[in-house]
Amino acid sequence: MYKFEKSFYSKTSMYSFVVVMILFFSMWYSTSKFVHIDMALLGYVISSVVFAIGLTIRMSFWMWRKATNRVAKRSVDNLFNKERVKRNSKALVKTLIDNIILQKFIFQRGIYRGIQHFMISWGCIISFAITFGLTFGWMRFDLIDPGTYQIIVFDMPTITMAADGVFAEIVYNGLNIGAIMVLIGAGMALYRRITDYDVKVTQRFEFDILPLIILLAVTVTGLILTIMFTFLDGWMYHYMSLIHQVTVIIMLMYFPFGKLFHVPIRPLATAVPMSYQEVVKVDTKSCKSCGQPYSNDDQIADVQAILKSQNFDLQLADGTYLSDYCTGCRRRMRALKQMNLEAPKGNPYGPVSTNNGIHISGFSKKRSEEFYGLDKDSKEEKIDEPVSR
């Protein structure tokens, strides 16, 4: 393995080569040694290979980040931990259903945003699955008799379907269904970004608007192809197919390096509850100030290691770390530090009487969160934004 790795300039180039070889041999196998290859899709094949290389490069750099790498290693360790297999399996299934299939996390920010995100996400998943399946020959349709097709997956016969049946119509129009979903979602997102003032002041054209325009270009040209073939007897079909191919190639080239990169990244978030959120329910860590359970040893150790590797060693004068305290105590410690006061230990939401005679009234948990800027959606402390009162 070491000699093989030394044959490349970097690990990223080695990973890219391995990915290309996997795609090549999977295509060779699924098309019966290139017998069933569709030469009309050659342009999509080349652009898809370049897309795979770009995605591998971006994924490699993303995984080499200190925080991501630490979480990935912790997830692998927990996944093969015999004592946590049952709990981890439940966490993975629950997160897969809630965050990937149903996408509840985005619906918590509003029905409108939930619908637009759901449409874009599942429209892209359906479109990519069908496009790559046909492009690399992983899936094809063989005619058994004049009225029956058989779906071949990786050169293995699977189910048969009537050529004029309802199921066949759904399969034939799979790309159109995905395109309509993306068209609805991207249109809703573009309308929101054009009309919503709060969004307009923070968005950037190249990061927020451009990917929506690219998605709309791909979906609109693809749907126009269907209209030309079905209702116009193929009029101008050849020219529109070239235009559609260009839009797809542009989208595939942009995908790994723009905002759309979070589409393949999001499923990896299923490892977070397995690594931390489920563990905290049984392996709790108590705050060193108020004694309330708030996290687990694995998460705190990872936070401290990540911060230390990035030269953010937040160790306090008494030898403890800021991450050893719960969120409420950290907010109070920060507020008192700004007033040059020592933060006494105890209830993070109760009144404070310092040794120099200054008395500060206590807040309720809800009032404390509002005062110190706890965002209601993300449940994360906004340390960079001033709170106006």
pLDDT exceeds cutoff 50 at 378: no
pLDDT exceeds cutoff 50 at 218: yes
Higher pLDDT, 283 or 24: 24
Q: What pLDDT does residue 180 have?
A: 94
Place of tokens 């066949």: 168
Q: What pLDDT does residue 285 have?
A: 74
What are the structure tokens assigned to 72, written together?
């990935």
In Å, how far from its chain's centre is CA 66? 18
349 near 364, Cβ under 8 Å? Answer: yes
The dihedral built from the CA positions of residue 153, 117, 97 and 92, taken in this order, carries a sign that is positive
Percent residues over pLDDT 90 in the chain: 22
295 near 285, Cβ under 8 Å? Answer: yes
Q: What pLDDT does residue 374 have?
A: 45
Q: What pLDDT does residue 102 have?
A: 85
Amino acid in position 382? K
pLDDT exceeds cutoff 70 at 346: no
CA 233/CA 50 separation, integer angstroms = 34
CA 53/CA 105 separation, integer angstroms = 30
Alpha-carbon Rg for the chain, nearest whole angstrom, is 27
**Percent of residues in the chain assigned helix, strand, coil, to nearest 5:** 65, 10, 25
pLDDT exceeds cutoff 60 at 384: no
Q: What pairing do the DSSP bridges indicate for beta strands 359-360 and 352-353?
A: antiparallel
What are the structure tokens assigned to 365, written together?
């948990």
What are the structure tokens assigned to 200, written together?
């307009």
Q: How confident is the model at residue 182 (pLDDT cuts 50, 70, 90)?
A: very high
Tell me which H or E stretch contains 295. strand 293-295
Q: What pLDDT does residue 389 have?
A: 33
Percent residues over pLDDT 70 in the chain: 78
CA 335/CA 315 separation, integer angstroms = 18
The 3-state secondary structure of 242-285, one letter per residue: HHHHHHHHHHHHHHHHCHHHHHHHHHHHHHHHHHHHCHHHCCCE
41 near 134, Cβ under 8 Å? Answer: yes
Distances (CA, A) of 211 to 180, 204, 262, 309, 326: 17, 11, 12, 34, 39
Distances (CA, A) of 123 to 175, 177, 325, 351: 9, 8, 43, 52
Q: What pLDDT does residue 376 have?
A: 44
Tens digits of per-residue pLDDT, 32-91? Answer: 888 888 888 888 899 999 999 999 998 888 888 877 887 777 777 766 666 666 666 777
Give mean pLDDT, residues 328-357.
63
Higher pLDDT, 212 or 73: 212
CA 372/CA 39 separation, integer angstroms = 61
Give mean pLDDT, residues 9-16.
87
pLDDT exceeds cutoff 80 at 238: yes
